[in-house]
Amino acid sequence: MRYQALATIPSPLSLGRRCVLLDVSRSGFYAWRGRPASRRAQTNRRLVAEMQVIHREVDRTYGSPRMAPELVGRGLPCGRHRAARLMRAHGIRAKQARRFRVTTDSQHGLGVAPNRLDRQFTARAPNGVWMGDVTYVPTAEGWCYLAVLLDAFSRRVVGWALDTHSRPRCRSRRWSKRWRAGTPRQACSTTPIAASSTPARRTRRCSTATASRPA
């Protein structure tokens, strides 16, 4: 390890001074540098090279528990602890799976909104059917929730809202934004796409407000 440090760590000090500080001789260092790598060191280099290939092939999904048997299957005997040590020393890390974030609240006593469209996402005229949904977007500052309304006839975005939560205030804000922007105030059926998990009270509140706008 001391000879390895002399060879790899840059320093403004002379070689002789560094040998004195590390309590090794210059002749020993030159002998170590000219000596061929040990059999174990050569094996480790082959293992690391193959680990890097596997790491790319599996898109960084293997940790040491899966890397070790994969190496054995390719004809390179390696135990789990050795694989973990080599991976750690050479910066080979499995990427962390994102934690599943639950965004649908199905534990409520409210009625479920009816599926009025029955998967017929078309309309015969503009502003006859609006369809909405909410999705979440990862950002550098945390999760944001995007609520969007589409006109089923033109597929045009007629309203949207972006917020840091998915409470009803974010969802219903889509309607009022578009009304202020000048959408024709005719009776219109609004149907959340995720109707099976949308409480009927929320949908009814938004639909009633929309239908109350006369043509």
158 φ/ψ angles, rounded to the nearest 5 degrees: -100, -10
Q: What percent of the chain has pLDDT over 70?
A: 72
pLDDT score for 184 = 42
Domain locations along the chain: 2-89, 129-211
pLDDT score for 209 = 42
pLDDT score for 84 = 95
How is residue 195 annotated by DSSP? Answer: G
What average pLDDT does the structure give for the chain? Answer: 75
Is residue 28 helix, strand or coil? helix
Is residue 205 over pLDDT 60? no
Residue type present at position 204: R
pLDDT tens-digit series, residues 76-119? 999 999 999 999 999 999 987 777 767 666 677 777 667 777 77
> How far apart are the C-alpha atoms of 71 and 78, rounded to whole Å?
7
Is residue 74 over pLDDT 80? yes
pLDDT score for 93 = 92
pLDDT score for 119 = 78
How is residue 156 annotated by DSSP? Answer: -
Is residue 203 over pLDDT 80? no
User: What Cα–Cα distance (Å) separates residue 32 from each residue in 39, 43, 61, 174?
Assistant: 15, 18, 38, 72
pLDDT score for 54 = 95
Whether the full predicted model's pTM is greater than 0.85, yes or no, is: no
DSSP per residue over 79-135, as a string?
A: -HHHHHHHHHHTT--PPPPPPP--------SSPBPP-SSTT----SSTTSEEEEEEE
Of 62-76, 86-100, 200-214, the one with minimum mean pLDDT is 200-214
Q: For domain 129-211, which architecture applies?
A: 2-Layer Sandwich (3.30)
138 - beta bridge partners? 143
Give the pair of three-digit tokens for residue 30: 């030159």
pLDDT tens-digit series, residues 141-198? 888 888 888 888 888 888 888 888 766 554 455 455 554 444 544 444 444 444 434 4
